Amino acid sequence: MRWMWIDRVITFEPKHRLVAVKNVSLAEEHLHQHFAAEPGLASAPVMPNSLILEGMAQTAGILVGSVHDFREKVVLAKVTSATFERDVLPGETIRYDATIERMDEMGASTIGVVDRFSFVDNAWAPVGRIELMFSHLDQNRAGTEFPEENFVFGENFATLLEGAGLRKAGVKKD
Q: Does 15 bind another protein (CB under 8 A)?
A: no
Size of the site for another protein (CB under 8 A): 16
Contact pick of 55, 61, 65, 107 for another protein (by CB under 8 A): 107
List, by residue number, the catalytic residues: 34
* Residues 41-80 close enough to bind another protein by CB under 8 A: 77-78, 80
Closest CB to another protein among residues 66, 135: 135
Q: Does 135 bind another protein (CB under 8 A)?
A: yes
Q: Choose the stretch contacting another protein; rule: CB under 8 A; options: 3-11, 17-25, 32-40, 133-141.
A: 133-141
Distance (Å, whole) CA 69 – CA 75: 15
Q: What separation in angstroms does the CA of 146 have from each of 2, 14, 117, 143?
A: 19, 27, 40, 10
Contact pick of 133, 137, 160, 166 for another protein (by CB under 8 A): 133
Distance (Å, whole) CA 98 – CA 83: 15
Contact pick of 101, 123, 124, 159 for another protein (by CB under 8 A): 101
Provide the binding-site residues for another protein, judged by CB under 8 A: 77-78, 80, 101-102, 104-107, 109, 133, 135, 140-143
